[in-house]
Structure 1
Amino acid sequence: MRYGLAALALASALTSGGAALAQSDAPVPLSYGVRPFYLVDKLPDGELKEKLAACMNQTPARTAFSIGHRGAPLQFPEHTVESNLAAARQGVGILECDVTFTKDKELVCRHAQNDLHTTTNIVATDLAEKCTQPFTPASDGAEAAAECRTSDITLAEFRTLKPKMDAADKSATTAEAYLGGTPDFRTDLYVDDAQLMTHKESIELFKSLGAKFTPELKDPSVDMPFDGFSMDDYAQKMIDEYKDAGIPASDLFPQSFNLDVIRYWVENEPEYGRQAVYLVEPDDSWDGSDPSTWEHSPADIADMGINYLAPSINMLVDLDDSGEIVPSDYAKAAKEAGLTLISWSLERSGPLANGGGWYYNSVTDAIDSDSDYYAVLDVLAQDVGVVGVFSDWPATVTYYANCTGL
């Protein structure tokens, strides 16, 4: 492992307290920080604000309802040791490694196979010439561009890269300037010395933190098979790395947007496939109230032997005739089909003024303040009945879950 001294010290402390953590008692102090209180303070007067404000003196506790989405990337570079330590300190019960592979077919944690140009410093290194599309500067009205894939480089080369916040300055005329562009609601304060992870390293770290695992097998940017490496080989390799690490199936929630991958796990790794999570998101024609626009009905998904469904937030909530946020017809159909629901990703959108962006486009007219993170979360938890929520800042979800007994 390549963790820094602080990470190793925390991992050691967490490991020594593993028995306590199994009972949802953190072996090191947890902290909500100030953000949950800030959001509660902004809520309009009413039942939800009274309920959440009454919990301000509670002691934080770890909860599986709170899932770290790439760690805690609202402020830390995603899929780094530091991002996941931050999430663990905010009380998450489940951590995520998005899984892709390198040129030598080793598994690493990246949100996409082709995101190295926005999540690392690769375009400003000697490895830039190996990128699928090396950096080209902005010129004559054209934006700066690059595409760098994990499959362009070996694992040894991947290890030399430095992570950064996911961003790019498309007005840049130099590779160094292209590394900028961090949205103003995030920060570069915690970028220095952040550490990338392989998939195996994420398993070791998350295990030491006492968390469960929800790896997402990402669809490759390259054509498959890749140098003889098929999609089935890829899906199997991910599961095998948990088996090799001694992780029980009960602690693993493997995810994919690829239905064929989910069905592969269900059919070929039934013990692990029992908790496979099918991720879905709406296309442009999707309407939560019109089943004819759903690619697969929840009933059809359940009939495939899939137990866990994870739609994006905008698929699970809608507005009623009075403008109140309520469960969508899709959410109701999923519950009727007996599917266990998870949703994603709270705190991804930044400030929620003016409708909140893509994640909230089914309830835009009800979104006008950051406090609406809690308004939506309350509907997801109490009315939709999700069992977990991914968040870019897990303390927000942990606070809510602790307060409401989830």
Structure 2
Amino acid sequence: MIRQTSFHPVLIILFFFLVLLVIAPALASGRNDGMEGTSFHDASPDNSSGNVQLGPRPFFLVEDMEGGELKSKLARCGAGPFRKTYFSIGHRGAPLQFPEHTAESYRAAARMGAGILECDVTFTRDKELVCRHSQCDLHTTTNILETPLAEKCTRPFTPAQFDASGNLIQEASARCCTSDITLDEFKSLKGKMDAFNPGARNVAEYVGGTPAWRTDLYAGPTSGTLLSHRESIELFSKLGAKMTPELKSAEVAMPYDSDGDGVGDYTQEHYAQQMIDEYKAADVKPRDVFPQSFDIRDIRYWIAREPEFGRQAVYLDDANTVADLPNASQLTAYKAEGINIVAPPIFALLDVDGGGNIIPSSYALQARAAGLGLITWTLERSGILADGDNGFYYQTFDSAIRREGDVMKVLDVLNREVGVLGIFSDWPATVSYYANCMKLK
């Protein structure tokens, strides 16, 4: 028989208080030690790798699908949990609703599970690299025309011209380039949704024109934070994302700022090297970077001069129609010279069979036969799908698209039958939902 001993309640409370004083610091120290050295060292809200929030759109798309095995499988995933996936690539961030290439757009993409984020890279007048889709798009993607920097634009704003009957005879225009201004001046601007009004009579009208299926809700005066390339590397690292910078074609003569003696000129090779050097300076591992270019000379440069980065360089295909796509022998030649990944637009990879089903295209089969990895662009960039007029990205298979939920069929064929490595999207949540459901990393 064991004697029961009673303790005074005050003594019990005091005992546990002393225990906590001793072990709490040790527990905190152990937790910090465990986090140190990992890729998710920042536990701030910005680090969305473990806190993916997809919002209502993917669920709307699944609910809108026609009944069948795919819909049933996707519907069963609705409870999550959802995690970051490298199959989901944030195209300029999340520009379906956020101004592209802004800090806010990138954070939104990361929160939607995009495991890879894109900075399109161009340069300023003082040869600093910045994130912008085109060297000369500031007049449609920023507020530059509403600032004193408008005076530095290559071509100032010109209002639209109308005839006596009010018919438009000449569209409003402007041309403002990153190479018109310095990095500090660039950083003083605010990003906006990429749009303009061709019938504008003044600047206030010109900077409007956002399509109805997008929104200006997140393009207010306190958002739209523009980034240098270096800042994008820092942010993406903080978000726990891999990086896919695209070296944009210069829209100024190269070598840039040349005095004719060939000494100290800013050549295309300097430009291509500068981009890679900024990842090396930030100690980003080459395996976490997928450099891209539409110019095969850039890809060849990286393969030759920076082979660790060149190994997974992405050669972008700028075909506008099927007739523009490379043939089987060209694809084989790409592989032979060390190109491992190609990235054509979505239409290049899909076709429709006699029964109206979406199937892999001949190009897709030829690229896979050549041993090439495939990435494609761009999902969620075509507006309303049910209207049957979905333009560039859907040109080879638009006849098979009937409703918004059909975007999930597109994803399924790209994944299971084409075998793409990843998909650029203007709203990464859609791809992230599918990838999580199919257990894609």
Do they superpose with TM above 0.5?
yes
Going from structure 1 to structure 2, the CA distance change for 1:16 and 1:77 (only over 3 Å counts) comes to farther
- State the 1:285 CA deviation: 6.3
Task: For residues 352-385 of structure 1, give each alpha carbon's deviation from its aligned partner in whole angstroms, at most 9, with x where no partner exists.
Answer: 1214211000101112221121111110000000
Matched AA of 1:256: S
Task: For residues 274-313 of structure 1, give each alpha carbon's deviation from its aligned partner in whole angstroms, at most 9, with x where no partner exists.
Answer: 010001032346166xxxx649721111111001111110
1:186 matched residue in structure 2? 214
Q: Which of 292, 309, 318 is the equivalent residue of 1:255?
A: 292
SS in 2 for 1:104: coil
Task: For residues 93-138 of structure 1, give each alpha carbon's deviation from its aligned partner in whole angstroms, at most 9, with x where no partner exists.
Answer: 1000000000111000000001000000111211112111110001
Distance 1:352 1:222 in 2: 37
2:11 matched residue in structure 1? none
Q: Which range is displaced more, 351-360 or 57-66?
A: 351-360
1:234 lines up with 2:271 in the alignment: yes
TM-score for both structures, normalised by structure 2: 0.85
- State the 1:269 CA deviation: 0.5
Q: Which of 334, 341, 345 is the equivalent residue of 2:367?
A: 334
Q: Is the 8 A contact 1:355 1:366 kept in 2?
A: no
SS in 2 for 1:389: strand
Distance 1:351 1:264 in 2: 40
1:217 lines up with 2:247 in the alignment: yes
Distance 1:371 1:389 in 2: 17
1:350 lines up with 2:378 in the alignment: no
Q: Which range is displaced more, 367-376 or 339-348?
A: 367-376
1:176 matched residue in structure 2? 204
Runs of 4+ in 1 over 3 A off after TM superposition: 13-17, 25-28, 293-296
Q: Which of 411, 418, 437 is the equivalent residue of 1:384?
A: 418
Going from structure 1 to structure 2, the CA distance change for 1:47 and 1:221 (only over 3 Å counts) comes to same
Distance 1:27 1:271 in 2: 26
1:104 lines up with 2:138 in the alignment: no
Q: Is the 8 A contact 2:293 2:315 kept in 1?
A: yes
Distance 2:124 2:423 in 1: 29
Q: Which range is displaced more, 388-397 or 364-373?
A: 364-373
- State the 1:386 CA deviation: 0.3
Distance 2:336 2:354 in 1: 33
SS in 2 for 1:32: coil
1:56 lines up with 2:78 in the alignment: yes
1:201 lines up with 2:231 in the alignment: yes
Alpha-carbon RMSD across the aligned residues, in angstroms, is 2.0
2:173 matched residue in structure 1? 145
Distance 1:251 1:189 in 2: 32
Matched AA of 2:204: E
1:85 lines up with 2:107 in the alignment: yes
Stretches of structure 1 lacking an aligned partner (at least 5 in a row): 1-12
Q: Is the 8 A contact 1:70 1:98 kept in 2?
A: yes
Q: Is the 8 A contact 2:49 2:110 kept in 1?
A: no
Q: Which range is displaced more, 249-258 or 293-302?
A: 293-302
Distance 1:15 1:123 in 2: 45
1:370 matched residue in structure 2? 404
2:22 matched residue in structure 1? none
Matched AA of 1:175: V
1:159-170 to 2 correspondences below 5 Å: 159-170=187-198
- State the 1:194 CA deviation: 2.0
Structure number with greater Rg is 2
- Identity, % of aligned pairs? 56
Distance 1:168 1:116 in 2: 11
Q: Which of 123, 128, 146 is the equivalent residue of 2:150?
A: 128
1:3 matched residue in structure 2? none
The number of residue pairs the alignment matches comes to: 387
